[in-house]
A and B are shown apart, each in its own frame.
Chain A
Amino acid sequence: MSDRAAGTKPETEDVESFRRRARAWIRANLDPAPQGEAGLGRTRSDEQELAQVARAREIQRALFDAGLAGICFPVEYGGQGLSLEHLGAFNQEVAGFDCAADLQIPTFTPCAAVILEFGTEEQKRSHLPAILRGEEMWMQFLSEPSGGSDVAGALTTAVRNGDEWVMNGSKIWTTGAWWADWGLCLARTNWDVSKHRGLTVFMLRIHQPGVEIHRIEMLNGNREFCQEFITDVRIQDSDRVGDVDEGWTVGIRWMFHERTAMGGGSPYVVRPAGSGSGGLVGSGDSLWPLLVAGGRSQDPTALDLVGEAHTLALVGTALTPRIGASMRSGALNDQAAAIARLYSGTRSVRYSTIAYELAGPAGLAWDPDDGDPGPGVGYLMRQAACIGGGTTEMARNVISERVLGMPRETSHDRDTPFRDVPRGPAAG
């Protein structure tokens, strides 16, 4: 992302007047941010979930009408065509308010970012303004049951039939597919070439005959993740993103946008200051109530852990913008987003451990009338931070190979037609 998105308004609003405008509107129109766990830590009823989604759509529509949606998206697709500095100002002003920020991923990035980068003019005009108005919620149809990190090994297949494609297969780990509208879907379109050369990206309407959605229950009761079974689904060729069999070119950027979002440095999403993995969630301040509740506010061991968590939060806040600036200046290539992703994952793991330690016995058992379960359940879900959005192992591969230039891992699928690549132990 350059300092300014393509398609700037004729007279660009300066950052400070934009900030004043945003502040006035936010204070007059948005509610205080809801408390409690976000994302995977959340366990709420379907009714609550749907109400939240409806509310997110309303908020997004209101932002759009106020000229505050898609701050770094180009004007011709409904965005504001403003700079990262404007987005930064908005993030500061919206801190503490409910701007439906946790629903911006994956709709705004990586999905909208990929459409912006690879979509046809018609696709961009048809989908990006609708996304920015809150009318289209998008999900990633990327992972498959057959392989987590090996996304290029997709088995879901689309076969061309005139101006249409017919798709069959299964996708997994799509959050919120049961209420979302569209999926960005990576599918195999050629089994006779090597793995990376036979993929194509499609836009898939989720709620249609042939798409069966199964919801996955996580160990904490969260049921946002879904698996989809796709059977003879017809897709117009005009819903293809990028060239036929060039899906990996799209996929590389797709995952880059995902990593950037996980690391907290994306220009395409609103992230209220002090929130998210790149922000001060998990600061010492947020742990202090646990310390007080456990009667350990004078305990040197507990204080040391608070200091450690606080250090890691402050470092995360410093690291994300530095990596963003390094990538923009060319000091680091854009694969360096993996450094922020690795940091946010490992930091989150450490935070979960510290929070559970500080919670003491109240972390393992609690009165159901007191509301949300404590850090014990968060601890059970601890590794999710190092798995979702690309595992930290993959991030380490990217850093070592793409940032440090160390040798690539040996693979047995690079020069073999995909249909001949082993997909399990040899029979017998």
Chain B
Amino acid sequence: MHIGLTPDQEFFQETTRKFLDAQCTPAELRSLAADPAGYRPQWWHQGAELGWTTPLVPEARGGGSISGAGLADLSLAALEIGRHAAPGPFIPTNVTAFSLGHSPAGAMAGAWLDRLLSGAATAAWLRADPPGMDLGGAALTARTAPGGGLVLDGRAPVAEGAADADVLLVTARTEDGLVQAVIDAGAAGIRRRRLDGVDLTRRWAAVELEGVEVGADGVLDPGLAEGQLCISLCLQQAEAVGAMQAAFDMTLAWTANRYSFGRPLSSYQEIKHRMADMRMWLEASYAITVSAIDAFDAGRPDASELASAAKAYVGHFGPELVQDCVQIHGGIGVTFDHDLHLFLRRVTAGVPAYGSPAQHRRRLAGMVAQRVAS
């Protein structure tokens, strides 16, 4: 992701890449297409051992990052996961670990955090938008219960990894704004239904909450929600960039090896210029994503703005790039046997997640309006 990684970061990325090279072959991904969870628990465990779950959690709580810039470190794993179109609840589990790791070490948070960090458990995030904002969030509401707890109601129609998650992070609306809670995914009042989706191995579920009771020790600080969104956007764009890179590399090689009319495709200026445009979109996607990651790691106030810009850009040009790769491949590019669709699926799944590009453009315009008005 970043230019000028530390040797430790390079090592981390390299071990993740080697692990995924061995474990996440295209053949394996195709066989996982029929698997309900889309990934193997043992495999997720190993990923956790490689350090996929700890970077956003303070050391004192069992986490720790390589460089001190946790999101930058984690984005290296995200990039490789995207480059391999790898399955697993990577984003929601890390988002939940972040919030548990930045909440008081109560009984509920502590127990779940340890299991998330070790890879023994995974999480899903059911997300409502803050009042006045529309990033495609779910209709989830909360009311306060006696003793400082909450009662949750509503429906999250498309929640990543929710069918197999052990724990749910819920961001819901009240009349006064957002509240957050962490709940056992098997708690009374929760109904989960598996969905089919565009990604071969990533899984989504529809979740209904009906009078789900949360004790005081499961209530989290709603102030963490903006950070959660920022992390999700950054990791999701890093994954998308990885998938874009894979599709681009595959297509560049194809243009050199495929001959038409006695010349390689790569010798046609039309093809060259499209590859040049794609190379620009790719570099620009790296740049804006890294820019948002750095702002988040530094605690800068423009992190949200940059994260929205990253989504608005990568969410648009990511799928455009991979679709153009399909076009350059011709008919074989839309077959199941070719690997290109693994990456097309990954960037396509990313478009509406955590707010669509159009929703983020609208959010950016709102930020501009606020700044100009003040």
* Cα(A303)–Cα(B372), bound, Å: 14
State which of A56-64, A65-73, A184-192, A314-322 sits at the interface with chain B: A314-322
Residues of chain A within 8 A (CB-CB) of B252 are 404, 406
* Cα(A406)–Cα(B328), bound, Å: 15
Contact B284 A315 (CB under 8 A): yes
Task: Mark each residue of chain A from 286 to 315: 1 if its CB lies under 8 Å from any CB of chain B, else 0.
Answer: 011000000001001001101110111011
* Cα(A311)–Cα(B361), bound, Å: 7
Contact B279 A314 (CB under 8 A): no
Contact A400 B276 (CB under 8 A): yes
Residues of chain A within 8 A (CB-CB) of B4 are 325, 329
* Cα(A297)–Cα(B373), bound, Å: 12
Nearest CB in chain A to that of B364: its residue: A307
B188 at the interface (CB under 8 A from A): no
Residues of chain A within 8 A (CB-CB) of B272 are 396-397, 400-401, 404, 406
B255: shortest Cβ distance to chain A, in Å? 7
A111: shortest Cβ distance to chain B, in Å? 27
* Cα(A397)–Cα(B305), bound, Å: 34
Q: A311-B309, A400-B272 are in contact. Are A339 and B279 (CB under 8 A)?
A: yes
- Contacting A304 at CB < 8 Å: which of B358, B371, B372? B358
Q: A393-B273, A395-B276 are in contact. Are A306 and B365 (CB under 8 A)?
A: yes
Contact A329 B3 (CB under 8 A): yes
* Cα(A260)–Cα(B349), bound, Å: 36
Sample (6) of A-B pairs whose CB atoms are under 8 Å apart: A307-B364, A317-B291, A322-B290, A403-B276, A404-B276, A406-B275
Name the interface residues of B327-370: CB closer than 8 Å to any CB of A: 358, 360-366, 368-369
A95: shortest Cβ distance to chain B, in Å? 16
* Cα(A287)–Cα(B3), bound, Å: 32
Q: A322-B286, A342-B280 are in contact. Are A284 and B365 (CB under 8 A)?
A: yes
B313 at the interface (CB under 8 A from A): yes
Nearest CB in chain B to that of A307: its residue: B361
Residues of chain B within 8 A (CB-CB) of A318 are 284, 287-288, 290-291, 306
* Cα(A284)–Cα(B308), bound, Å: 13
Residues of chain A within 8 A (CB-CB) of B210 are none
Contact B313 A399 (CB under 8 A): no
| Chain A interface residues toward B at CB < 8 A | 283-285, 287-288, 297, 300, 303-304, 306-308, 310-312, 314-315, 317-319, 322-323, 325-326, 329, 331, 336, 339, 342-343, 346, 393, 395-397, 399-401, 403-404, 406-407, 409
Q: Top 7 A-B pairs ranked by shortest CB distance? A: A307-B361, A400-B272, A284-B368, A399-B276, A318-B291, A396-B276, A318-B287
A351: shortest Cβ distance to chain B, in Å? 14
Residues of chain B within 8 A (CB-CB) of A395 are 276
Contact A314 B309 (CB under 8 A): yes
Nearest CB in chain B to that of A408: its residue: B267
* Cα(A304)–Cα(B359), bound, Å: 8
Contact B288 A284 (CB under 8 A): no
Contact A406 B255 (CB under 8 A): yes
Main secondary structure of the interface of B (DSSP, over half): helix
Contact A406 B266 (CB under 8 A): yes
Contact B287 A285 (CB under 8 A): no
Q: A314-B305, A406-B272 are in contact. Are A307 and B288 (CB under 8 A)?
A: no
B42 at the interface (CB under 8 A from A): no
Residues of chain A within 8 A (CB-CB) of B309 are 310-311, 314-315
Residues of chain B within 8 A (CB-CB) of A308 are 312, 361
- Contacting B369 at CB < 8 Å: which of A297, A312, A404? A297
* Cα(A221)–Cα(B286), bound, Å: 40
B49 at the interface (CB under 8 A from A): no
A253: shortest Cβ distance to chain B, in Å? 21
Residues of chain A within 8 A (CB-CB) of B305 are 314
Contact B362 A307 (CB under 8 A): yes
Considering residues B271, B283, B363, which has the most beta carbons from chain A within 10 angstroms of its beta carbon?
A: B283
| Chain B interface residues toward A at CB < 8 A | 3-4, 252, 255-256, 264, 266-267, 269, 271-273, 275-277, 279-280, 283-284, 286-288, 290-291, 305-306, 308-309, 312-313, 358, 360-366, 368-369, 371-372
Contact A400 B368 (CB under 8 A): no
* Cα(A399)–Cα(B277), bound, Å: 9
Residues of chain B within 8 A (CB-CB) of A397 are 269, 272-273, 276
Residues of chain A within 8 A (CB-CB) of B372 are 285, 288
Considering residues A285, A307, A317, which has the most beta carbons from chain B within 10 angstroms of its beta carbon?
A: A307
Residues of chain A within 8 A (CB-CB) of B266 are 406-407
Q: A303-B365, A308-B361, A322-B290 are in contact. Are A400 and B275 (CB under 8 A)?
A: yes
Considering residues A318, A396, A397, which has the most beta carbons from chain B within 10 angstroms of its beta carbon?
A: A318
Contact A319 B365 (CB under 8 A): no
* Cα(A288)–Cα(B369), bound, Å: 7
Contact A339 B361 (CB under 8 A): no
Residues of chain B within 8 A (CB-CB) of A331 are 3
Nearest CB in chain B to that of A284: its residue: B368
- Contacting A322 at CB < 8 Å: which of B3, B269, B371? B3
Residues of chain A within 8 A (CB-CB) of B271 are 406
Considering residues B266, B269, B287, B364, which has the most beta carbons from chain A within 10 angstroms of its beta carbon?
A: B287
Nearest CB in chain A to that of B294: its residue: A318
Contact B365 A304 (CB under 8 A): yes
Nearest CB in chain B to that of A323: its residue: B283
Q: A322-B3, A404-B276 are in contact. Are A307 and B365 (CB under 8 A)?
A: yes
* Cα(A314)–Cα(B363), bound, Å: 14
* Cα(A315)–Cα(B280), bound, Å: 11
* Cα(A315)–Cα(B288), bound, Å: 5
Contact B280 A343 (CB under 8 A): yes
Q: A284-B365, A315-B309 are in contact. Are A326 and B3 (CB under 8 A)?
A: yes
* Cα(A325)–Cα(B371), bound, Å: 31
Residues of chain B within 8 A (CB-CB) of A284 are 364-365, 368
Contact A307 B280 (CB under 8 A): no
Contact B283 A339 (CB under 8 A): yes
Nearest CB in chain B to that of A331: its residue: B3
Considering residues B279, B305, B306, which has the most beta carbons from chain A within 10 angstroms of its beta carbon?
A: B279
B198: shortest Cβ distance to chain A, in Å? 24
* Cα(A317)–Cα(B302), bound, Å: 13
* Cα(A326)–Cα(B3), bound, Å: 6
Q: A393-B273, A396-B273, A406-B255 are in contact. Are A310 and B369 (CB under 8 A)?
A: no
* Cα(A303)–Cα(B366), bound, Å: 8
Considering residues A325, A346, A400, A407, which has the most beta carbons from chain B within 10 angstroms of its beta carbon?
A: A400
A131: shortest Cβ distance to chain B, in Å? 32
- Contacting B362 at CB < 8 Å: which of A303, A393, A403, A404? A303
Nearest CB in chain A to that of B291: its residue: A318
Residues of chain B within 8 A (CB-CB) of A406 are 252, 255-256, 266-267, 271-272, 275
* Cα(A343)–Cα(B281), bound, Å: 8
* Cα(A311)–Cα(B365), bound, Å: 10
Nearest CB in chain A to that of B292: its residue: A318
Residues of chain A within 8 A (CB-CB) of B287 are 315, 318-319, 322-323
- Contacting B368 at CB < 8 Å: which of A304, A310, A317, A401? A310
Contact A285 B290 (CB under 8 A): no
